[in-house]
Amino acid sequence: MPLSRSLSMTSLTGVLPAWEEDELPVEDLLLFEVSWEVTNKVGGIYTVIQTKAKITVDEWGDNYYMMGPYFEHNFKTQVEGCEPPNPAIRKAMDALIHNGCQVHFGRWLIEGSPYVVLFDIGSAAWNLDRWKGDLWETCNIGLPFHDREANDSLILGSLIAWFFKEVSWKLHQWSYKPNVVSHFHEWQAGPGLILSRSRKIPMATVFTTHATLLGRYLCAGNTDFYNNLNKFNIDKEAGERQIYHRYCLERAAVHCAHVFTTVSQITAVEANHMLHRKPDVVTPNGLNVKKFSAMHEFQNLHSTSKARIQEFIRGHFYGHLDFNLDKTLIFFIAGRYEFSNKGADLFLESLSRLNYLLRVHRNDVTVVVFFIMPAKTNNFNVESLKGQAVRKQLWDTAHTVKEKFGKKLYDALLKGQIPDLNTILDRDDFTIMKRAIYATQRHSLPPVTTHNMLDDSKDPILSNIRRIGLFNSRNDRIKIIFHPEFLSSTSPLLPMDYEDFVRGCNLGVFPSYYEPWGYTPGECTVMGIPSVTTNLSGFGCFMEEHVSDPAAYGIYIVDRRFRSPEESCNQLTQFMFSFCQQSRRQRIIQRNRTERLSDLLDWKYLGRFYIHARHLALTRAFPDKFKMDPMAPLKTEGFRYPRPYSVPPSPSASIHSTPHHSDVEDEDEPYDEDEEAERDRMNIKSPFVLGTVPDGKKEQPQESRN
């Protein structure tokens, strides 16, 4: 029987610690948030600032402004132009416009509708050489002419520093003089912070790095990164990769800011070594949980979306559909195509071992694994499109025969007769069905990729699939589908948006080696889908600190920091094998628990870390006006979710010791959803202070690059 959800997303007031707001006089302050990704989607920072906008607008109202580069298409499609409500903003814009630099103002059409100030980089490019000279005179950082991204960042930063100078001058003329707080994200926004501080513009500054620049480059090259954090010659490594000037901008911004923050504890350790400053506050990335919240419906949405994915599987595996879809689990990995950083290498090796375990134990569970990672392709492959066409043809044939069968059955029952099942279908019906069956015959294996890859022989995923020999053969219990394109509801092959697809899966697997935060497992969590992450991802570290037994809540954390690659691979294999052994009822219970963690990732809770960072910046920039006791515990206090009473400490101990059918209901398992929810509220361990940054764990002898 289906289990109802008894704990809604808004019912955790007894679990989450009370939020005592920092009493900042926001009516006497102006907050500016600067990022290259304001109205300009490039990566994960766009998600951060977009989802956080609503709570920031609720707190700051018309005193909150976002700043970034102007792109005509983005402005026309995402921004509603309007006049600035603050006359100082208007006069500062006019000062730049009168000097030939175009500045645009409006409301960004996202939830919260924040004001945006966008600077046209092209209109100010004629100043580039002069501004390069200013940067050199200020901090001895030179930018090469061929690095367009760095040059564009300097133009944007110079315009922003100029804008802040004009705003400051206009505010100084008022009897009412609001203080300014400016928050800069990533190295592209760094020049604005550096130039503003060098010109002694009176404002509090916060700088957030979402991932260190050099860290990304080093990990992309399969470096044993975390074991050698204190051994790298930073200047030499940056120079060899021709990013020394970018690294200098990032490091200068870090040291110029009043407050330096980063998004996770693991990135804080990294930043301390790479940038030589310990972050003052950790500001975890949140989500707008309301967007994903389905309240009591999320289990039904899972069933609906899974049925749509199963239809695709029926077509993709036509002629080889000798496995029971009711006993089939759907796993997936998604994200940028960074083969090692995203853990696809470890995942594939673990799948090979999982396939062996399922075959040895004669388990009738089949696992279909999707790789959703964009790569270079030239189109869908013919075999994949043909599979969906064959499935649709079979569906139409079945409906045609069903209608004829139903009409004859209806007529016979009206006459009070039991129809002869041998005559209710005529010869033509059998002919049509036989032709449909013959059409499903296939002499080749189902393809492992849905598209024609441009560099098939060198593609990392396909090369490893060839190495481990998972070609979707009949004997394999692991079936692989590589979809090298982001999902879209308009796709002719798999017409589903990413959110709907995630809801239909059973497990998301993200065994990343380098993941400063990791939105993919977070999105799984708020949609009630269990996931695998690692202790090298910000999300994994966050969950380890907040949840007593993450695995009981559907968050499996692979140790990639203090275990060898072989041990990490075996641990991931065991997690997935244990998950395959769960009954359907156990998976439903686990999804309920996973979804209950949603509030942990809501900006309504995580936004307090940003509030603390701004308050700290104001106390350092304006110590006569703003006070904060440096010895007082942070108001950003966390807590630990307890392990549910209905499961033992080990995730594998809560399942049967031998494989069994996934649809078998374990009716003897004691479980009361209301009682468990109440225990979650009542049995919370003592809070601990969150926001301080650890110095880093001592390296273990067996620690190695995974």
**Residue linked to tokens 């101990």:** 653
Amino acid at 286: G
H or E stretch including 390? helix 382-414
Distance CA 427, CA 645 (A): 61
Q: Reduce the DSSP state of residue 185 to 3 states and report it.
A: strand
Task: Give bridge partners of residue 509 from the DSSP assignment.
Answer: 532
Say which residues have a Cβ less than 8 Å from residue 262's Cβ, sequence separation at least 6: 208, 209, 210, 268, 271, 279, 282, 283, 516
**Residue linked to tokens 């900006």:** 603
Are 79 and 101 within one domain?
yes
The DSSP secondary structure of 543-607, one letter per residue, reads: HHHHBSSGGGGTEEEE--SSS-HHHHHHHHHHHHHHHHHS-HHHHHHHHHHHHTTGGGGBHHHHH
Cβ count within 10 A of residue 293? 18
Are 476 and 420 within one domain?
no
Distance CA 181, CA 574 (A): 49
Are 307 and 363 within one domain?
yes
Closest by CA position to 115, among listed 107, 123, 124:
107
Determine, yes or no, domain membership for 487.
yes
Determine, yes or no, domain membership for 85.
yes
CA 70, 73, 75, 80: dihedral to nearest 10 degrees?
A: 170
Determine, yes or no, domain membership for 622.
no
H or E stretch including 672? none
In the listed set 569, 597, 625, which residue is the last one of a domain according to the structure?
A: 597
Are 135 and 252 within one domain?
yes
Res 174: pLDDT: 76
Could you tell me the two tokens for 690? 């969150």
Taking each helix axis as running N to C, give the angle between helix 427-439 and helix 382-414, from 0 to 180 degrees, rounded to the nearest 10: 160
Closest by CA position to 265, among listed 276, 250, 278:
278
Distance CA 636, CA 609 (A): 6
Q: Reduce the DSSP state of residue 195 to 3 states and report it.
A: helix
Closest by CA position to 368, among listed 448, 440, 442:
448
Closest by CA position to 666, among listed 649, 679, 647:
647
From its phi and psi, is residue 319 left (phi > 0), alpha (psi between -120 and 50) or beta? left
Are 215 and 321 within one domain?
no
Distance CA 419, CA 480 (A): 45
Span 82-95, pLDDT tens digits: 999 999 999 999 99
In the listed set 282, 311, 328, which residue is the last one of a domain according to the structure?
A: 282
Res 290: pLDDT: 76
Largest CA distance in the chain: 99
Closest by CA position to 167, among listed 30, 57, 24:
30
In the listed set 597, 616, 651, which residue is the last one of a domain according to the structure?
A: 597
Residues of the chain with pLDDT under 70: 1-23, 175, 291-296, 630-706
| Global confidence as pTM | 0.85
Residue ranges making up the domain that contains 555: 296-381+447-597
Are 309 and 419 within one domain?
no
**Residue linked to tokens 């879209």:** 488
Res 424: pLDDT: 79
Res 546: pLDDT: 87
Closest by CA position to 332, among listed 554, 485, 509:
509
Determine, yes or no, domain membership for 667.
no
DSSP 634: P
Res 663: pLDDT: 42
CA 433, 437, 440, 444: dihedral to nearest 10 degrees?
A: -170
Determine, yes or no, domain membership for 301.
yes
Determine, yes or no, domain membership for 702.
no
Closest by CA position to 8, among listed 549, 666, 602:
602
**Residue linked to tokens 């080749």:** 444
DSSP 182: E
Closest by CA position to 622, among listed 205, 255, 256, 261:
205
CB-hemisphere CA count at 13 Å for 29?
21
**Residue linked to tokens 């919240």:** 293
Distance CA 479, CA 569 (A): 19
Query: Exposed, middle or buried by CB within 10 Å (0-12, 13-18, 19+), for 176?
Result: exposed
Phi, psi of 330 (to 5 degrees): -115, 115
Task: Give bridge partners of residue 281 from the DSSP assignment.
Answer: 261
Amino acid at 126: W
Say which residues have a Cβ less than 8 Å from residue 616's Cβ, sequence separation at least 6: 258, 259, 280, 281, 628
Res 596: pLDDT: 87
Could you tell me the two tokens for 72? 């005509």
Rounded to a whole number, what is the distance in angstroms from the first to the last CA of the chain? Answer: 42
Say which residues have a Cβ less than 8 Å from residue 272's Cβ, sequence separation at least 6: 278, 279, 693, 695, 696
Distance CA 512, CA 471 (A): 24
Are 306 and 356 within one domain?
yes
Are 111 and 196 within one domain?
yes
Determine, yes or no, domain membership for 659.
no
Are 424 and 359 within one domain?
no
CB-hemisphere CA count at 13 Å for 83?
6
Say which residues have a Cβ less than 8 Å from residue 468's Cβ, sequence separation at least 6: 348, 349, 351, 352
Q: Are strands 555-558 and 204-209 parallel, antiparallel or unpaired?
A: unpaired
Q: Reduce the DSSP state of residue 625 to 3 states and report it.
A: coil
The CATH number of whichever domain residue 325 belongs to comes to 3.40.50.2000
Could you tell me the two tokens for 424? 């209710």
Closest by CA position to 269, among listed 281, 260, 279:
279
Cα 510 to Cα 590, 705, 706, distances in angstroms: 18, 17, 14
Res 688: pLDDT: 37
Radius of gyration of the chain (CA): 28
Res 60: pLDDT: 95
Q: Answer whether 465's CB lies under 8 Å from 486's CB.
A: no
Determine, yes or no, domain membership for 497.
yes
Number of domains observed in the structure of the chain: 3
Res 173: pLDDT: 82
Distance CA 570, CA 230 (A): 29
Res 633: pLDDT: 57
Task: Give bridge partners of residue 558 from the DSSP assignment.
Answer: 534
DSSP 637: B
Q: Reduce the DSSP state of residue 286 to 3 states and report it.
A: coil
Are 423 and 374 within one domain?
no
Positive or negative, the Cα torsion across 471, 472, 475, 477?
positive
Could you tell me the two tokens for 510? 């993200």
Are 522 and 548 within one domain?
yes
Are 460 and 481 within one domain?
yes
Q: Where are the alpha helices (DSSP H) in 125-282?
A: 128-139, 148-172, 190-198, 213-220, 234-240, 244-256, 265-274
Span 621-631, pLDDT tens digits: 999 999 877 65
